[in-house]
Amino acid sequence: MKRIRPFTLKAATTLILSTTTCLSQAPAAQPTPAPTTTQPQLITPAPPKPLPAFYRNLILLDPAHGGPDTGAHLPDNALEKDVTLAFAQRLRPALAAQGFTVVATRDSDPATGLTPDQRAGTANHTRPLACILIHATATGSGIHLASSSLTPLDDTATPSRALAWDSAQAPTLPMSLRLANEIGLALIDAHLPVILMRASVPPIDNVICPAIAIEVAPLSPSSGNTTAVTDAAYQQRIADAVANAVASFRTHNAPPPATRTTPGAPQ
Amino acid sequence: MIPRYQRILFWSLISGILLLSAFLIHGCQQAHKRLTALNEATPIAAPTPASTEEVTLYLASDADATVTPTRSQVALPQEPSLRARAVLEHLLAQYALPGSAHPLQSGPAVDDVFLLRNPANSSAGQIAVINLRGSFVDNHPSGVEAEQLTLNSIIGTLHSALPEVAEVRFLVDGQPHDTLAGHASLSRSYPLIDTTTRPTAPSEAATQP
């Protein structure tokens, strides 16, 4: 008998809640006109309401690794899977304070890890405004922001009804780059060093939401002591900056319906 | 007084021991000769003419996530796959030097490089398949930046050495592998392009749709 994973149930629950609370960006389904004649007619069912492109108040966090996949071995016997989970748990309330609903691919260290395809499946099912993949490393300095290394789709390309799994991120890549830029600006404002880069980090190429991988590296100033990635204050500074940046990204890329202007509509 | 029959038995045993010893020594010498002859008969690789050439190495730096082309002199064979392997070994050896900006552990890294014709489109250029050693992958630093810089460094250097190759795929010990060290994907193919990377700073202008 197939077991249903807890995260799947949670994601499905969040999707239902988000459907009722969050704003749909897709145009509303056209109402079915009332019949004008009294003759009996075949009642055709209304077409299903199309799913929105994304929910503007929903964010997906993916603390990388977990279970037997420990990730990188960091100084002081820290494991990457624990650092990513700790950072996600700091980022979650910071995002909630900005009015976001947060879904995470894992909230604990499961006995069996999730495959990248399962993580991408969760992200594509919940349709969040942004997918944030969290990593940690012992090399480099500051925060590394990686967007997919796929080539963005040409504007003249004919949109396809089906997306290839290996390049599902390509149509959303311009938004992902803007998200990386927003987070980069917020981190610089918080006086944290940032590196923007492109990388193919599973499952970033397989998700259809604007996605970014945040890799936390030790803070190594030219003068002074090195701050480890496990430092709580360091993680909190990053989390606050990221939450502010995602809120700014929402304002720029998915404004609320009250501020949208329809041509010809009364102001 | 030792009886005569005992003396005869003693000397007979001594003679037998000497004979057996001589037989064993002779057998060992024969086996040694046979093994030596086998070794000499093993074919050895034909010497490949290798002249020193100037190549472009795309060297990565962890500090700013850049990849910078640098000229270097390397003795290279003419056969393309051997040439690609020699260039990549030379490139990765640079990262094991003291003071490297992208430190990697020393040791052999590339088992083979295969150049294949693209089965889908013969005019689209060749496909390079790089077979990395498991020891190199096991000892590679784990991290998005470190792993992607290694891949970009390999891709740029191979593009410079073999411009006729269009894309590259990776194997580890002859088998498909998901990631280099847990982060950068090895399960996809990468276009062989110039991977020169300069530091990119976020800007206010790039935030607007």
Gyration radius (Cα) of chain A, Å: 21
Calculate what percentage of chain B has a pLDDT beyond 90. 72
DSSP state of B163: T
Per-run averaged pLDDT (10 residues), chain A, 267 residues: 46 41 38 44 64 84 94 94 96 96 94 92 94 95 94 70 87 94 96 94 95 95 87 96 96 76 43
Q: In whole angstroms, how far apart are CA B82 and each of A44, A197, B79, B114, B130?
A: 68, 32, 5, 9, 11
Burial environment of residue A220 by CB neighbours within 10 A (0 to 12, 13 to 18, 19 or more):
middle
CB contact under 8 A, B182 and A65: yes
Alpha carbons A221 and A195: distance in angstroms, whole number: 15
Nearest to B207 among A73, A196, A252 (CB): A252
| Domain presence at residue A96 | yes
**A54 or B18, which is more confident?**
B18
In a domain? residue A228: yes
- Omega cis (within 30) before A203: yes
Domain assignment present for A100: yes
Which chain A residue has the Cα nearest residue B139? A72
Residue A130 domain flag: yes
Q: Work out how many CB contacts closer than 8 A connect A with B.
A: 117
State how far residue B200 is from chain A, nearest Cα, in angstroms.
Answer: 6
Q: How many CB atoms lie within 10 A of CB B105?
A: 14
Determine, yes or no, domain membership for A72: yes
Chain A: residue nearest B142 by CA? A72
In a domain, A41, yes or no: no
pLDDT at residue number B68: 95
* Residue A213: domain span: 55-154+162-253
Instruction: Flag whether pLDDT at B91 surpasses 60.
Output: yes
Report the length, in residues, of chain A: 267
| Chain centroid offset of residue B63 CA | 27
Domain count within chain A: 1
Backbone angles phi, psi at B19, to 5 degrees: -65, -45
Is residue A181 a part of any domain in this protein?
Answer: yes
Q: What is the pLDDT of residue B209?
A: 74
Q: Is residue A258 domain-resident? A: no
Task: CATH number of the domain at A201, please.
Answer: 3.40.630.40
Model-wide pTM > 0.90? no
Give B181's pLDDT tier (boundaries 50, 70, 90).
very high
Query: Over 60: is that where the pLDDT of B17 sits?
Result: yes
